[in-house]
C-alpha cells in the first residue's frame, strides 16, 4: 500500500491488492471527514470508493504537482454530493495535504460541501447540481477531439442522478460526436435521497437504455477490483463510441450498518457510529 | 468633445439629421442585432482559433450557421438541448476554448439557468452566452419566446457580466469585447431589426456607459433596443425646450455608477428605459445607485407586472408602455417633480 501513497511513486503500477488496501484507506477518510463535519453523504461516497481508487491510483494519467496539466485525464464526480470520496483520493494521491480532509464543509476550507474546481486542487469541474457534470465532461471530450489530445474523460453519475433529463441529453450527444474519449460510470447503488430508486422513480433497465442510445455498455460488480480495473483499462481501446460502465454497487459499502440503508445517504455518524465504522474498515484493511 | 445641450456623440449624422421627425429611422440601415452577432462571430473565428460556437437548433435563425459552414470543426449543434449545451460549454472552457453558446434568451436565461449559474458562473468559466430574441422583441411568437426577464435573472448571478448593445455597430464591438474578457458574459440581442445609430468609433468598453446626447434638464438611461427610442424622445423634448441627456448603458453589469451619479447630480431627474421587466433590471439597478447615493426624481420604463402577447414589435412596445411617447411623458413627469421639490 505504501508504494502508492505518494505522487513521486505514481509510476509504480499498483497491484489489485494494493488498490483494495487503498480503497479501505479512502473509506477511513470518508468516515473521518463526515464525522468531523457532522454533515455529508457517506452512503454514496462509500459505494464509489473502489472505482474512484482504481481511477486515481492506476487508470488515470495525472500529475499531482501540476493539477491543470493540459494532457491529463479528467475525472468528474457528477454525483457531487459524494465528494468526500473524491477529496480523499486526491489527498492520498498528493494533490493536497491530508490535513485538509477534516476541514470538510467548514468555513474557509478548500473542501466545499459539493466540489468547487476553484478551491480544490485536482477537481476538474465544479459539481453539485445533478445532471451537469456529465454534460461538462462531454464538453471536455469534444475539446479533446478538437485539440487532437489523447486524454480521456471519466464521469461518474449516480443511478438516482439518471432521473435528470440532462443526463440523457448528454447520452444522446456523445455517440453523435463519436466521443470514444468519454467514459461514464454509473454508481448503481439503488438508493437516492428519499428512498430506494426503484420506489421513487425507477431508472432500470439502465443497460438497455444506454445501449439504445448507442453506447458501448460494460456491466461490472463495482466493488470487485478484479472487475473494475480491467473494465476501466479496456475503454481506451474502444474506438468510435463512448463507453458506459454500469457498476452494481452497495450504498454504504464497507460499513455494515450503513450498507443498503437509505437513511445513510446524507447523514453523519455520531461518535460511537464513527468508531464502529472505523473499526470495521480497519478489519477490512487486514 | 463638446458638452453643450443637444450635442450628440458617436451618433451617425444622418440619424441626428432626421431626429425627431415622423419617421426618424426611415433612412437608417436596419439590422437585427442577432445578425450583427453572426457577422462578428465569423470575424472572430478568423482571427481567434479558440473561438467555438455552440448552437441549439436555432442556428438558421441566428445565422450562426454561417460560422458552421466556415468553421465546421469548431461548430457544435446540440439540438434542442440547451441544458447540455450550457454545461458542455463550461467543460470546453476548462480546456482554453472560448465557447459562444447561442440560443434564444428565454432558453439561455431560464431553461438552462441552473447550468448557467452552477457550471458557468460559479466557477467563472470563460463562456459567452449569446442570447437572441431578448425582451419582448420576438413579438409575433408570443409570450413563451419573449424573454422579458433575462437581464434581471443574469444580473442576479455572481460573477456575471451582462451586455445589451443598442445597434449593429455596438453589437459587433460588444462581441469582440466579450471575447477579449476572461469570464462569463451574457450578450443580449434583438430578434427584430433596429436602426444602425452609431459611428464605427463608438467606444464600447465593458462597464462604461456612453453619453450619446448631452443635456442638463434630465437624463434617459437606456439599453438595447430602447436606446434608439430614447434618442427620439430626447429630440422631441428638445422641441419643447427640455434638454435631455441620453446614456447608452449597454453594460447592465458591472454598472457604470460614476456615469449614473454624474447624470443624477448634473441633471437632477432620471428615466430608465429597458425592454425588460421593471423588476431587477436596468431600472432597479439605477434606482439602487440613486437611493444609496443621490436620491432624485426617477421613473422606470419597462414591462410592468404582466406578460405581453403576440403582435408586431413596435406595436407591442407601444401597448406595453415602452415607446417614445411613454419615455417622453416619463421625462416630463420627473422634470416636474424636480421643479416641485
B177 to A231, B49, B102: CA distances (angstroms):
46, 16, 17
Tens of pLDDT, residues A84-128: 999 999 999 999 999 999 999 999 999 999 999 999 999 999 999
Closest-CA distance, B76 to chain A, in angstroms, reads 9
Reported as a pLDDT band with limits 50, 70 and 90, residue A8 is: very low
**pLDDT (0 to 100) of residue A231:** 98
What percentage of chain B exceeds 70 in pLDDT?
Answer: 99
Region B71-81: what's the mean pLDDT? 98
DSSP B168-191: HHHHHHHHHHHHHSSS-EEEE--S
| Closest residue on chain B to A70 (Cα) | B95
Answer yes or no: do B95 and A70 touch at CB < 8 A.
Answer: yes
Chain A residue with Cα closest to B115: A132
Distance from CA of A51 to the nearest CA of B (A): 22
Cβ <8 Å between A169 and B94? no
Minimum Cα–Cα distance from A149: chain B residue: B95
> Does pLDDT of B232 surpass 50?
yes
The pLDDT of residue A11: 58
Residues of B with CB under 8 A from a CB of A: 52, 73-74, 76, 78-79, 81, 83-84, 86-97, 99, 114-115, 118-119, 122-124
Residue of B nearest to A116 (CA): B123
Rounded mean pLDDT of A76-90? 98
Q: CB under 8 Å to B123, separation ≥6 — which residues?
A: A116, A117, A118, A125, A126, B90
> Which of B74, B87, B95 shows the shortest C-beta gap to A132?
B87
Are B87 and A126 in contact (CB < 8 Å)?
Answer: no
Q: Most B CBs within 10 Å: which of A139, A153, A164, A181, as the mutation test of the B interface?
A: A139
CB-based contacts of B11, cutoff 8 Å, min separation 6: B197, B198, B199, B212, B213, B231
Determine the pLDDT at residue B137: 79
Task: Mark yes or no for CB contact A138/B89 under 8 Å.
Answer: no
Q: What's the CA gap between B310 and B139, in Å, rounded?
A: 5
DSSP per position, chain A? -GGGSSGGGTTS---HHHHHHHHHHHHHHHHHHHHHHT-S-HHHHHHHHHHHHHIIIIIS---TT-TT-TTS-EEEESSGGGHHHHHHHHHHHTSS-GGGGGGTTSTT-SS-SS--TTTSTT--S---STTSHHHHHHHHHHHHHHHT----EEEEEETTGGGSHHHHHHHHHHHHTT-TTEEEEEEE-SB-SSSBHHHHS----HHHHHHHTT-EEEEEETT-HHHHHHHHHHGGG--SS-EEEEEE--TTTTSGGGTT-GGGGS----HHHHHHHHHHHHHHH-
Taking one residue from A and the other from B, the number of pairs with CB-CB distance under 8 angstroms is 101
Distance CA B327, CA B153 (A): 24
Confidence of residue B313 (pLDDT cuts 50, 70, 90): very high
**CB-nearest partner of A146 from B74, B86, B90:** B74
Share of chain B above pLDDT 90, in %: 94
**Residue of chain A whose Cα is closest to the Cα of B74:** A146
pLDDT tens digit string along B77-128? 999 999 999 999 999 999 999 999 999 999 999 999 999 999 999 999 999 9
Supply the pLDDT for residue A284: 76
Per-residue model confidence as pLDDT tens digits over A226-259? 999 999 999 999 999 999 999 999 999 999 999 9
B96 neighbourhood in chain A, CB within 8 Å: 70, 143
Chain B nearest-CA distance from A156, in A, is 15
Q: What is the DSSP letter of B250?
A: -
Compute the nearest-CA separation of B43 from chain A (Å): 20
C-alpha distance from B52 to closest chain A C-alpha (Å): 10
Q: Where do the domains of chain A lie, and which CATH numbers do they carry?
A: 16-283 (3.40.50.970)
Q: Each residue of B117-167: pLDDT tens digit?
A: 999 999 999 999 999 999 997 778 899 999 999 999 999 999 999 999 999
The model's confidence at residue A192, banded by pLDDT at 50, 70 and 90, is: very high
Cβ distance of A118 and B123 shorter than 8 Å:
yes
Task: Please tell me which residue, A10 or A194, carries the higher pLDDT value.
Answer: A194
CB pair distance less than 8 Å for B88 and A146: no
Q: Nearest CA to CA, how far is A270 from chain B (Å)? A: 32
| Complex ipTM value | 0.95
The pLDDT tens digits of the residues spanning A26-39 come to 999 999 999 999 99
Q: Which of A132, A133, A149, A184 to mutate to test the interface with B (most CBs of B within 10 A)?
A: A132
What distance, in Å, lies between the first and last C-alpha atoms of chain A? 12
pLDDT for position B6:
82
Q: What pLDDT digit, counting tens, does each position of A51-71 carry?
A: 999 999 999 999 999 999 999
B140-165 exposure pattern, b = at least 16 Cβ within 10 A, e = fewer: eeeeebbbbbbbbbbbebeebbbbbb
- b/e map of A193-230 (b: 16 or more CB within 10 Å)? eeeebeeeeebeebbebbeebebbbbbbebbebebbbe
Amino acid at each position: 500500500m505504501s508504494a502508492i501513497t505518494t505522487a513521486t511513486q505514481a509510476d509504480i503500477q499498483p497491484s489489485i491488492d494494493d488498490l483494495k488496501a487503498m480503497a479501505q484507506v479512502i473509506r477511513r477518510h470518508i468516515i473521518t471527514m463526515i464525522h468531523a463535519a457532522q454533515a455529508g453523504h457517506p452512503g454514496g461516497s462509500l459505494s464509489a470508493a473502489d472505482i474512484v481508487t482504481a481511477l486515481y491510483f492506476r487508470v488515470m494519467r495525472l500529475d499531482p504537482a501540476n493539477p491543470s496539466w493540459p494532457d491529463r485525464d479528467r475525472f468528474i464526480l457528477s454525483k457531487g454530493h459524494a465528494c468526500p470520496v473524491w477529496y480523499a483520493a486526491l489527498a492520498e494521491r498528493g494533490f493536497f495535504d491530508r490535513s485538509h480532509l477534516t476541514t470538510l464543509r467548514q468555513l474557509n476550507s478548500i473542501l466545499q460541501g459539493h466540489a468547487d474546481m476553484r478551491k480544490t486542487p485536482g477537481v476538474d469541474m465544479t459539481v453539485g447540481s445533478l445532471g451537469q457534470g456529465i454534460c461538462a465532461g462531454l464538453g471536455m471530450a469534444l475539446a479533446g477531439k478538437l485539440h487532437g489530445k489523447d486524454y480521456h474523460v471519466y464521469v461518474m453519475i449516480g443511478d438516482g442522478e439518471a432521473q435528470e433529463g440532462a443526463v440523457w441529453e448528454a447520452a444522446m450527444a456523445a455517440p453523435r460526436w463519436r466521443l470514444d474519449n468519454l467514459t461514464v460510470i454509473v454508481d448503481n447503488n439503488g438508493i437516492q435521497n428519499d428512498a430506494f430508486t426503484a420506489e421513487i422513480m425507477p431508472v432500470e433497465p439502465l443497460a438497455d437504455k444506454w445501449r439504445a442510445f448507442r453506447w458501448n455498455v460494460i456491466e461490472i460488480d463495482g466493488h470487485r477490483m478484479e472487475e473494475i480495473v480491467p473494465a476501466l483499462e479496456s475503454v481506451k481501446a474502444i474506438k468510435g463510441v463512448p463507453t458506459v460502465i454500469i457498476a452494481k454497487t452497495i450504498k454504504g459499502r464497507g460499513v455494515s450498518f450503513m450498507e443498503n440503508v437509505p437513511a445513510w445517504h446524507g447523514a453523519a455518524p455520531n461518535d460511537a457510529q464513527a468508531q464502529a465504522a472505523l473499526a470495521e474498515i480497519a478489519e477490512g484493511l487486514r | 468633445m463638446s458638452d453643450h445641450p443637444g450635442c450628440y456623440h458617436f451618433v451617425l449624422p444622418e440619424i441626428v439629421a432626421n431626429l425627431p421627425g415622423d419617421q426618424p429611422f426611415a433612412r437608417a440601415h436596419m439590422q437585427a442585432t442577432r445578425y450583427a452577432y453572426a457577422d462578428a462571430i465569423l470575424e472572430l473565428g478568423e482571427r481567434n482559433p479558440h473561438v467555438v460556437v455552440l448552437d441549439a437548433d436555432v442556428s438558421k435563425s441566428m445565422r450562426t450557421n454561417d460560422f458552421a459552414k466556415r468553421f465546421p470543426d469548431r461548430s457544435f449543434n446540440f439540438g434542442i438541448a440547451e441544458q447540455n449545451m450550457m454545461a458542455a460549454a463550461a467543460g470546453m472552457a476548462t480546456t482554453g476554448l472560448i465557447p459562444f453558446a447561442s440560443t434564444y434568451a428565454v432558453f439561455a436565461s431560464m431553461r438552462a439557468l441552473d447550468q448557467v449559474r452552477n457550471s458557468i458562473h460559479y466557477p467563472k468559466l470563460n463562456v459567452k452566452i449569446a442570447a437572441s430574441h431578448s425582451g419582448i422583441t420576438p413579438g409575433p411568437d408570443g409570450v413563451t419566446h419573449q424573454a422579458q426577464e433575462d437581464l434581471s435573472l443574469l444580473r442576479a448571478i455572481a460573477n456575471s457580466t451582462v451586455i445589451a448593445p443598442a445597434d449593429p455597430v455596438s453589437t459587433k464591438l460588444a462581441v469582440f469585447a466579450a471575447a477579449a474578457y476572461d469570464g462569463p458574459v451574457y450578450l443580449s440581442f434583438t430578434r427584430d431589426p433596429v436602426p444602425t445609430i452609431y459611428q464605427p468609433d463608438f467606444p464600447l468598453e465593458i462597464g462604461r456607459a456612453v453619453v450619446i446626447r448631452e443635456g442638463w434638464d434630465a437624463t434617459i438611461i437606456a439599453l438595447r433596443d430602447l436606446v434608439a427610442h430614447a434618442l427620439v424622445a430626447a429630440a422631441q423634448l428638445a422641441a419643447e425646450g427640455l434638454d435631455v441627456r441620453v446614456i447608452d448603458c449597454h453594460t447592465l453589469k458591472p454598472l457604470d455608477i460614476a456615469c449614473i451619479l454624474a447624470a443624477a447630480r448634473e441633471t437632477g431627474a432620471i428615466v430608465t428605459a429597458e425592454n425588460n421587466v421593471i423588476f431587477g433590471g436596468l431600472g432597479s439597478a439605477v434606482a439602487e445607485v440613486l437611493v444609496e447615493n443621490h436620491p432624485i426624481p426617477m421613473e422606470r420604463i419597462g414591462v410592468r407586472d404582466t406578460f405581453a402577447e403576440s403582435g408586431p414589435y413596435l406595436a407591442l412596445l407601444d401597448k406595453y408602455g415602452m415607446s417614445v411617447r411613454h419615455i417622453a411623458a416619463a421625462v416630463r413627469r420627473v422634470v416636474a417633480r424636480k421643479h416641485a421639490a
